[in-house]
């Protein structure tokens, strides 16, 4: 085992001012949804060029509410990648709609829009793309398709807070966009999510959907207009999110610097398939939530789990981003099978997520790359 400190694949960065701010919230006596949520929502709105934003207790809740807001339910189809976290297709299924999985580009891991166009039917109501690892999908192509077919768009931007397309932040334009504040994201609220909206009418509807479907009547009593969930974010979480947002651009700049080190130092024997480096001339548009190369398993004498176990022995944590959703037990029941989405299935077999978080140093990246090189050499068939 390594004598060096353990290096997880993700770690939140919490400053003392934010920690002190949480203590202030706890002492205030108002710890559930209240003034801190309003403050956080206002800051997020400002960050996204004035678009209305409402926060919820998770990005998963925000996806569910977004689908409800669009009126999507039984009989509807939503096109989405299988190469994504399970929350996206799960919520499509939960509201009674059918997830229609399409393949992704092997390098960017983002939706193949030719496949999207082929998948559209009279039952299609929305497209739910994932901005994989913080790399935006082709927003021009996405919204051209949506306009032509009169579809709603729910952007799964859980990995993409601070990413941009042609100089405009993801969530500051387009239709609906969902963000995550889980601890392994670029900013955290411990748990939490946000939904960027088109107007205040949608924002008021989200307020109803995120809290039991309750509307307040003129006489002070309450009515229920929809069987809503309880998805409100507590003020404690909002205070953390507010403090994190102020540092987000600096966090993302550090992530990009660390990824540049990965590209410079990554071993080449045998060669892994490295992730998309960002669009030429717009590299700052990639917020780099993940660094997830594909392993050359066909040239290795070990499988992925053995590779991960070997890195763990070096004191280096890893993850998997992501399994193929269409091959899970749930979605095989929809008739999905192996071989349908070859790029997605290859990524699911070969992907490994390596450490990337703002408090890492170039020396940490060098350490990871040395360990990867040693493990690959030890497990290579060459």
DSSP assignment of 293-340 equals PBP-GGGBSS-HHHHHHHHHHTTB--B-----GGGSHHHHTTT--TTS
Q: Is position 38 annotated as part of the catalytic site? A: no
Marked catalytic residue, from 38, 39, 94, 185: 185
Please give the mean pLDDT across all residues of the chain: 97
Region class of 195: left (phi > 0), else alpha (psi between -120 and 50), else beta: beta
Angle formed at CA 152 by CA 111 and CA 202, multiple of 5 degrees: 130
Measured CA to CA, the distance from residue 217 to residue 221 in angstroms comes to 5
Find how far residue 123's CA is from the centre of its chain.
26
- Tell me the domain boundaries of the chain: 16-245, 248-378
Q: Which CATH architecture has domain 248-378?
A: Alpha-Beta Complex (3.90)
Instruction: Please determine whether the domains at 16-245 and 248-378 fall in the same fold group of CATH.
Output: no
Give 261-291 pLDDT, tens digit per residue.
999 999 998 999 999 999 999 989 999 999 9
Q: Is 2's pLDDT higher than 90?
A: no
d(CA 118, CA 134): 26
Q: Span 242-254, mean pLDDT?
A: 98
Alpha carbons 104 and 82: distance in angstroms, whole number: 8
Identify the pLDDT of residue 318.
98
Confidence of residue 379 (pLDDT cuts 50, 70, 90): confident
Model confidence at 114: pLDDT above 70: yes
- pLDDT at res. 382: 61
The DSSP 8-state label assigned to residue 351 in this structure reads B
Pick the CATH number of 16-245 from 3.40.640.10, 3.40.50.300, 3.30.70.20, 3.40.1390.30: 3.40.640.10
- From the CB of residue 373, how many other CB atoms can be counted at a distance below 10 Å? 15
- Please state at what angle helix 200-209 crosses helix 59-69, rounded to 10 degrees: 120
Give the distance from CA 69 to its chain's centroid: 20
Provide the 10 A C-beta neighbour count for residue 141.
14
Confidence of residue 381 (pLDDT cuts 50, 70, 90): confident
In the prediction, which pLDDT does 1 show?
64
Helix (H) or strand (E) holding 238: helix 235-245
Write out pLDDT tens, residues 291-327.
999 999 999 999 999 999 999 999 999 999 999 999 9
pLDDT score at 3: 82
Q: Is 361 helix (H, G, I), strand (E, B) or coil?
A: coil
CA 262 to chain centre: 21
């Amino acid at each position: 085992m390594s004598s060096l400190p353990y290096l997880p694949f993700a770690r939140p960065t919490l400053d003392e001012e934010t920690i002190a701010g949480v203590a202030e919230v706890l002492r205030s006596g108002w710890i559930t949804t209240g003034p801190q949520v309003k403050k956080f929502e206002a800051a997020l709105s400002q960050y996204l060029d004035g678009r209305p934003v409402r926060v919820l207790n998770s990005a998963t809740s925000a996806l569910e509410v977004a689908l409800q807001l669009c009126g999507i339910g039984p009989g509807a189809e939503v096109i989405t990648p299988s190469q994504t976290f399970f929350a996206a297709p799960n919520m499509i299924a939960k509201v009674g709609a059918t997830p229609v999985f399409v393949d992704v580009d092997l390098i960017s891991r983002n939706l193949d829009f030719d496949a999207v166009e082929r998948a559209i039917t009279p039952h299609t109501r929305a497209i739910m793309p994932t901005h994989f690892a913080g790399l935006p999908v082709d927003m021009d192509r996405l919204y051209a398709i949506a306009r032509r077919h009169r579809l709603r768009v729910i952007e799964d931007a859980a990995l993409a807070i601070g990413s941009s397309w042609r100089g405009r932040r993801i969530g500051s334009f387009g239709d609906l966009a969902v963000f995550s504040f889980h601890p392994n994201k670029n900013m955290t609220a411990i748990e939490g999510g946000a939904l960027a909206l088109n107007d205040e009418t949608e924002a008021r509807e989200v307020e109803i959907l995120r809290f039991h479907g309750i509307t307040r009547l003129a006489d002070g009593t309450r009515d229920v207009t929809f069987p809503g969930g309880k998805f409100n974010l507590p003020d404690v979480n909002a205070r953390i999110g507010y403090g994190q947002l102020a540092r987000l651009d600096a966090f993302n700049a550090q992530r990009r610097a660390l990824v540049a080190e990965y590209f410079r130092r990554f071993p080449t024997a045998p060669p892994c398939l490295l992730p998309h480096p960002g669009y030429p001339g717009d590299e700052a548009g990639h917020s780099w939530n993940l660094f997830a190369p594909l392993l050359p398993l066909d040239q290795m004498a070990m499988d992925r789990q053995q590779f991960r176990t070997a890195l763990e022995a070096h004191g280096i944590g890893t993850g998997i981003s992501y399994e193929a959703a269409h091959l899970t037990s749930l979605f095989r029941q929809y008739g999905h099978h192996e071989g349908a989405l070859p790029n997605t299935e290859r990524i699911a077999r070969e992907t490994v997520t390596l450490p990337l978080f703002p408090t890492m140093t170039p020396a940490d990246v060098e350490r990871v790359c040395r360990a990867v090189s040693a493990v690959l050499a030890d497990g290579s068939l060459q």
